[in-house]
Amino acid sequence: MGRKTRILLLIASLMLIVSYFVPVWKVLLDAPQYPEGLGLQIWLHTITGDNPNDLNKINNLNHYIGMKVIEPDAIAELKLMPYLIGLMILGGLLIAWRGGRRWLYLWVALFVLLGIAGMTDFYLWEYDYGHNLDMENAIIKVPGMNYQPPLLGSKKLLNFTAFSFPAVGGWMIIGAVLLGTAGACLEWKAARQPEVVEK
């Protein structure tokens, strides 16, 4: 494996380490009554408010429409994610150190699959919160209305406009995938070159 590829993979692994310490995704809510902002930060291991009391405020607002209370401790994916990313880091570092073209392809493929699985899970989670409402106790009922936040981009939800986008940690993960893919491409090209001097 080329020196370049190893460095790319090393950087990708370090970027993944960073994603432990910063939020991965943000869902921001905008309404005239909230000039100070309101939103959620999704971390690898938990969900917090964008400001200190935001989770509390959002849960209180959600009771009007019968939405379930967001309890970060009850979300299984948040328990799993740190380990999955941990495995990717470990694998990345190992491949950067020991080499192994095929291992690299596998790493990239797994990572892409993990990304797709993660986004699908996030979508389903949003779907569940947005659709499975407690209509018995909902105060505001709008026929045909669901409150699923957007996966990416913005969407109007009653008086709020919701924005959903990757945060620093998310960009780190996206960057890691791209670097890994770039490394794999380099290796792919190198493998197809007829017998150049390889160290």
Partner 1 sequence: MINVSLIKKRLGLILFAGAVIFALVIACSTPQQLGTATDDAAAKVYVAPGSYDEFYGFFSGGFSGQVTVYGLPSGRLFRVIPVFSQNPENGYGYTEESKQLMMTSHGFIPWDDAHHPELSQSDGVPDGRWLFINANNTPRIARIDLSTFETDNIIEIPNSGGNHASPFITPNSEYVVASTRFSLPIPQKDVPIAEYKQHFKGTISFIKPDVDGHMELAFQIMVPGYDYDLSHSGKGPSYGWSFFTCYNTEQANTLLEVNASRNDKDFIAAVNWKLAEQAIAEGNYTTMNTEFYRNYIDHDSRIAHSERKSEVRVLDPQKVPGLVYYLPTPKSPHGVDVDPSGEYIVAGGKLATVIPVHSFSKMIKAIETKQFEGEVDGIPILKYEAVMAGEVQNPGLGPLHTEFDGKGYAYTSAFISSEIVKWKLGTWEVVDRVPCYYSIGHLMIPGGDSKKPWGKYVVAMNKITKDRYLPTGPELAHSAQLFDISGDKMKLLLDFPTLGEPHYAQGIPAEILMKNSVKIYPLEKNQHPYAVKSEKEARVERQGKAVHIYMTTIRTHFVPDNIEGVKVGDKVYFHTTNLEQDWDTPHGLAVQGANTSEILIMPGDTKTLIWEPKKPGVFPFYCTDFCSALHQEMQGYIRVSPANSNIQISYNGR
**3-class secondary structure, 165:** strand
Residues 62, 63, 66, 68, Cα dihedral to 10°: 70
Positions in 165-194 near partner 1 (CB under 8 A): none
Q: 14-53 as b/e, with b when 16 or more CB fall inside 10 Å?
A: ebbeebbeebbbbbbbbeeebeeebbbbbbbbbbebbeee
Out of 4, 21, 31, 60, the only residue in the binding site for partner 1 (CB under 8 A) is 60
Binding to partner 1 (CB under 8 A) within 63-92 occurs at: 64
- Return d(Cα 170, Cα 147) in angstroms, integer: 24
Question: 6, 45, 57, 68: which one contacts partner 1 (CB under 8 A)?
Answer: 57
Beta carbon of residue 49, minimum distance to partner 1 (angstroms, whole number): 10
Looking at 3, 32, 36, 136, which residue binds partner 1 (CB under 8 A)? Answer: 36
The answer to whether 135 contacts partner 1 (rule: CB under 8 A) is no
Interface residue with partner 1, options 31, 56, 97, 120 (CB under 8 A) = 56
Site membership for partner 1, residue 132 (CB under 8 A): no
Partners of residue 160 on adjacent β-strands: 157
- The answer to whether residue 53 forms part of the interface with partner 1 (CB under 8 A) is yes
Contact with partner 1 (CB under 8 A) among 76, 135, 139, 197: 139
Candidate ranges 4-12, 57-65, 116-124, 163-171; the one touching partner 1 (CB under 8 A): 57-65
- The sign of the CA dihedral 99, 105, 108, 109 is negative
Distance CA(189)–CA(146), nearest Å, equals 48
3-class DSSP state of 156: strand
Contacting positions for partner 1 (CB under 8 A):
36, 53, 56-57, 60, 64, 139-140
